[in-house]
Chains A and B, each alone.
Chain A
Amino acid sequence: MSSTSLTTGRAWRPTVPRRHVPVLATLALLLVMYGIGVSQYRAFSDIQVVFNVFIDNGFLLVVAVGMTFVILTGGIDLSVGSVVAMTAMVSASLLQDGLPAALVLVIALLIGPTLGLLMGCAIHFFDIQPFIVTLAGMFFARGMCTFISDASIPITDGFWTTMSQERVGNPGGNFVSISVLIVFVVVLVAAYVLAYTRFGRNVYAIGGNSQSALLMGLPVGRTRIAVYTVSGLCSAIGGILLSFYTLSGAPLIAVGMELDVIAAVVIGGTVLTGGSGYVFGTVLGVLVLGVIQTLITFDGSLNSWWTKIVIGGLLFTFILLQRLIGIRFK
Chain B
Amino acid sequence: MTGSRPVLSMTGISKSFPGVRALHNVDFRLFPGEVHALMGENGAGKSTLIKALTGVYGIDEGVITLAGEQVAFSGPMQAAAAGVSTVYQEVNLCTNLSVAENIFIGREPRRLGAVRWGEVRRRAQALLARLDLDIDVSAPLGSYSLAVQQTVAIARAIDVRARVLILDEPTSSLDAREVAHLFRIMRQLRDEGIATLFVTHFLDQVYEIADRITVLRNGTLVGEYRTEELPQLSLVEKMIGKELDVLERLDEQPKRPVTAQSAGTPLVAASELGRKGAVAPFSLRVHAGEVVGLAGLLGSGRTEVARLLFGADRADNGQVAVDGSRAALRAPVQAIDRGIGFCSENRRAEGIVPELSVRENMILAMQAARGWARPIPRRRQDELVEKYVKALSIRPADPDLPVRNLSGGNQQKVLLARWLITEPRLLILDEPTRGIDIGAKAEIQKLVVELSDGGMAVLFISAELEEVLRLSHRVAVMRDRTMVAQLDNDENLDADRVMQTIAGGTQRGEVNR
State yes or no: do A and B touch (Cβ within 8 Å): yes
Smallest Cβ-Cβ distance to A206: which chain B residue: B94
Picked from B92, B108, B135, the residue with its CB within 8 Å of the CB of A201 is B108
Q: Is the CB of A4 within 8 A of B143?
A: no
Tell me, yes or no, whether A330 is within 8 Å of chain B by CB: no
In the complex, chain A residues whose CB is within 8 Å of the CB of B368: none
A217 CA / B92 CA spacing, docked (Å): 11
In the complex, chain A residues whose CB is within 8 Å of the CB of B117: 196
Q: Is the CB of B81 within 8 A of A217?
A: yes
Q: Is the CB of A5 within 8 A of B97?
A: no
Given known pairs A6-B147, A217-B77, the reply for A201 and B93 (CB within 8 Å) is no
Q: Which of B175-183, B352-360, B394-402 contacts A (4 or more CB under 8 A)?
A: B175-183
Picked from B75, B113, B147, B156, the residue with its CB within 8 Å of the CB of A9 is B147
Smallest Cβ-Cβ distance to A215: which chain B residue: B92
In the complex, chain B residues whose CB is within 8 Å of the CB of A198: 105-106, 108, 110, 115
Contact string, A242-259, partner B, CB cutoff 8 A, digits 1/0? 000000000000000000
A4 CA / B97 CA spacing, docked (Å): 22
CB distance from B279 to the nearest CB of A (A): 10
In the complex, chain A residues whose CB is within 8 Å of the CB of B132: 6-7
Tell me, yes or no, whether A216 is within 8 Å of chain B by CB: yes
A216 CA / B107 CA spacing, docked (Å): 10
List 8 additional contacts besides A4-B178, A217-B80; criterion CB under 8 Å: A7-B133, A7-B135, A19-B96, A197-B114, A198-B110, A215-B76, A217-B75, A218-B105
Interface size on A, residues (CB 8 A): 34
CB distance from B415 to the nearest CB of A (A): 26
Picked from B94, B113, B135, the residue with its CB within 8 Å of the CB of A10 is B135
Smallest Cβ-Cβ distance to A6: which chain B residue: B181
Q: Is the CB of A216 within 8 A of B177?
A: no
In the complex, chain A residues whose CB is within 8 Å of the CB of B134: 7
In the complex, chain B residues whose CB is within 8 Å of the CB of A205: 94, 97, 105
Residues of A244-277 contacting chain B, CB below 8 A: 275-276
How many A-B pairs with Cβ below 8 Å?
108
A215 CA / B95 CA spacing, docked (Å): 14
A216 CA / B148 CA spacing, docked (Å): 18
Q: Is the CB of A4 within 8 A of B96?
A: no
Tell me, yes or no, whether B492 is within 8 Å of chain A by CB: no
Q: Is the CB of B144 within 8 A of A11?
A: yes
Q: Is the CB of B92 within 8 A of A1?
A: no
Given known pairs A6-B147, A198-B106, A218-B106, the reply for A1 and B77 (CB within 8 Å) is no
A207 CA / B96 CA spacing, docked (Å): 9
Tell me, yes or no, whether A296 is within 8 Å of chain B by CB: no
Smallest Cβ-Cβ distance to B156: which chain A residue: A216
Tell me, yes or no, whether A202 is within 8 Å of chain B by CB: yes
Residues of A1-21 contacting chain B, CB below 8 A: 1-2, 4-7, 9-11, 13, 17, 19
A215 CA / B76 CA spacing, docked (Å): 6
Q: Which 8 A-B pairs have the closest CB atoms?
A: A217-B77, A208-B94, A208-B96, A275-B96, A212-B92, A196-B114, A11-B143, A215-B92
A208 CA / B149 CA spacing, docked (Å): 15
Tell me, yes or no, whether B424 is within 8 Å of chain A by CB: no
Picked from B75, B94, B133, B481, the residue with its CB within 8 Å of the CB of A2 is B481
Given known pairs A10-B136, A213-B94, the reply for A4 and B147 (CB within 8 Å) is yes
Smallest Cβ-Cβ distance to B182: which chain A residue: A6
A17 CA / B481 CA spacing, docked (Å): 32
A8 CA / B480 CA spacing, docked (Å): 20
Ordered by A's residue number, 28 sampled pairs between the chains whose C-beta atoms are within 8 Å are A1-B175, A4-B145, A4-B177, A6-B145, A6-B147, A6-B148, A7-B133, A7-B134, A9-B144, A10-B143, A11-B143, A11-B144, A13-B139, A19-B96, A195-B115, A198-B106, A201-B101, A201-B105, A204-B94, A208-B96, A209-B94, A209-B96, A215-B88, A215-B92, A216-B94, A216-B106, A217-B76, A217-B77
